[in-house]
Structure 1
Amino acid sequence: MLDDPWFYAIAVPTVILIGISKGGVAGGLGMLGVPLLSLRIPPLEAAAVLLPLLIVMDIHGVWEYRRDFDRRNILQMVPGAVVGTVIAAATAHIVTDDQVKLMVGLISVVFTLNAWFSIVGRFVRTRQDKAREQDGLRTGLGGGLFWGAIAGYTSFLAHAGAPPVQVHLLPQRLPTRTYVATTVVFFFFTNAIKVPPYLMLGTLDRSTLLTSLVLAPLAPIGMKIGFWTVKAIPVELFYRISWILVFIIGLKLMLDGLGLRLF
């Protein structure tokens, strides 16, 4: 078990923040966990410490949102996540943390700008066009598989799978609870899929598991805050906040990937 007091000074608020994120408020904040813990321990060790905690949070989240998730999106995206996880496990020894951060950051920033400013005109449409687009996105198996695979890949390497999922789901304008529930259920499966490869690669060991156990009681605290906030925030405000946070987090990851660490 890790015994560095400065690690725990960072880990305690980080786990609570991830819990709030997992509870449904701006899921992208959860991917700050590895960068924050990496201030004191190596990134792969940070990912290993967080994985059991994420699974505990996922179980709480699935129970809370068990009746609300969009089954079609889950059926489309989870098979992609399996493919992405397998590819990530096979290439983990040659892909650097900075390369993953750069890829995730670029995806986040480009698609947020597209949503805001209609760079390719996709979001400048009538309400009827948007409704038809939503139907197309919801039934688009290719899109679900693709973004699920990207999410599985980046999630395996850095617990940074939220932006690809948000890129796929946010344009669909699902009801708030449906959107949150779908992300929660998706990451429940994605994180469970990661356990065998993490064990085979040796990133999950006795030390990291004991550290996770010490931090585990903090997970429900953050999640309760997240559950409450989802019920309190209006839909339009929820999506506005989500896009802003996706952009900020994506920009930070992109700069980190380029070696320009501002904070």
Structure 2
Amino acid sequence: MIADPVFYALAIPAVVLMGLAKGGFSGVGAVSMPLLALAVSPVQAAAILLPILIVQDAVSVWAFRRDWDRRILVIMIPGAAVGILGGYLLAAQVSAAAVLGVLGAISIVFAVHRLWLMRGGRVQAPASSSVVVGAAFGAVSGFTSQIAHAGGPPFQMWVLPRGLPPKTLVGTTAIFFAIINWLKVPAYAALGQFTPQNLAAVAALLPVAIASTFAGVWLVKRVQAERFYVLIYGLMIPVGAHLIWKAFAT
């Protein structure tokens, strides 16, 4: 088991943020992997977080099991599977720091644009209903999720403009990432990262993971729809800034 207190000082807030993300506050989860990577290698950090994500997925899916959009999942999951395979095959050639930097920049631009439209009271452009566009965003989400557990922003870029009710958005997000996180398991197993030491750290962090997910579920059900979207867009800005900082610091 990992005994370094610095690891747990970073891992506990990282897991809490992931739990809040799984409960519905999607933007904050992208910070967790870079935060934990300050204590251990990025590959080890991702391997530790993956089983925790799967447990948190189960809580989130159960909580929102009646609220989800079938069409979005049918369009995006096949693309995500392709993206996960691409991330695994290209892991040796693609810098995780580069992925985080580009993702952070896109997240900030996207969030600022959406908040500007909402502030000005302008009608948002209709979300693209193209199957090809949705599958492409799914592929990008799967790829960045495989590389750095950072599939949230690409998913949100296609799904958020569709204006789903908050609970439907959270339920759809929960099912989407529950599926793709299981699809990532073989790749991490092939890397030999599910060691007794890493799994012991996972077991120590699970109570925090479950409690923070339930806290996120409780909070998101009590936030009004308009405020919910403002909050999600607002969270994407500091998350994006952190990703860019991490990319340059690596």
Q: CA deviation at 1:257?
A: 2.0
**1:144 to 2:143 alignment:** no
2:151 aligned with 1:161: yes
TM-score, normalization by structure 2: 0.93
Counterpart residue number, 1:242: 232
Which residue of structure 2 aligns with residue 80 of structure 1? 79
Structure 1 Cα separation of the partners of residues 44 and 140 of structure 2: 22
Residues in 1 aligned to 2:123 and 2:38: alpha-carbon distance in whole angstroms: 44
Write the deviation string for residues 171-226 of structure 1: whole angstroms up to 9, x where unpaired.
11110000111111110011000000111122332221221111112112101111
What's the TM-score, normalizing by structure 1? 0.88
How many angstroms apart in 2 are the aligned matches of 1:94 and 1:204?
23
Matched, 1:196 2:195: no
C-alpha distance in structure 2 between counterparts of 1:196 and 1:107, whole Å? 29
| Higher alpha-carbon deviation: 203-212 or 73-82 | 203-212
- Pairwise CA distance, 1:83: 0.5
- Which SS does the other structure have where 2:68 is aligned? coil
Aligned residues of 1:23 and 1:225 also touching (Cα < 8 A): yes
The aligned counterpart of 1:6 is: 6
Q: AA paired with 1:89?
A: Y
Give the AA of the match of 1:152: G
Letter in 2 for 1:206: P
The alignment-based identity, stated in percent, is 39
Q: Residue 34 of structure 1 aligns to which amino acid in structure 2?
A: M
Distance 2:103 2:30 in 1: 10
- Matched pairs, number: 247
Q: Which amino acid aligns with 1:38?
A: A
**For residue 19 of structure 1, what is the aligned residue in structure 2?**
19
Equivalent in the alignment of 2:248: 258
CA distance in 1, matches of 2:132, 2:122: 23
Deviation at 1:247, TM superposition (A): 1.9
- Aligned positions of 1:170-249 closer than 5 A: 170-249=160-239
CA contact (8 A) 2:14 2:33 kept: no
Alpha-carbon shift at residue 124 of structure 1 (Å): 4.4
Q: Encode CA deviations 1:102-154: one digit per residue, 9 max, x unaligned.
A: 12112212222332346xxxx9448xxx5xx24xx3x4211210111111111
Aligned with 1:93: secondary structure?
coil
Greater Cα offset, 49-58 or 165-174: 165-174
CA separation in 2, counterparts of 1:20 and 1:79?
26
Larger mean CA deviation between 75-84 and 195-204 belongs to: 195-204
Structure 1 unaligned blocks of 5 or more: none
Q: Compute the displacement of 1:62 (Å).
A: 0.9
**Is the 2:79–2:137 Cα contact (8 Å) retained in structure 1?**
yes
Q: Determine whether 1:32 maps to 2:31.
A: yes
Aligned CA-pair RMSD:
1.7
Match of 1:56, SS state, is helix
How many Å apart are 1:78 and its aligned residue?
0.6
Map residues 91-110 of structure 1 onto 2, 5 A cutoff. Answer: 91-110=90-109
Q: Secondary structure of the residue that 1:233 maps to in structure 2?
A: coil
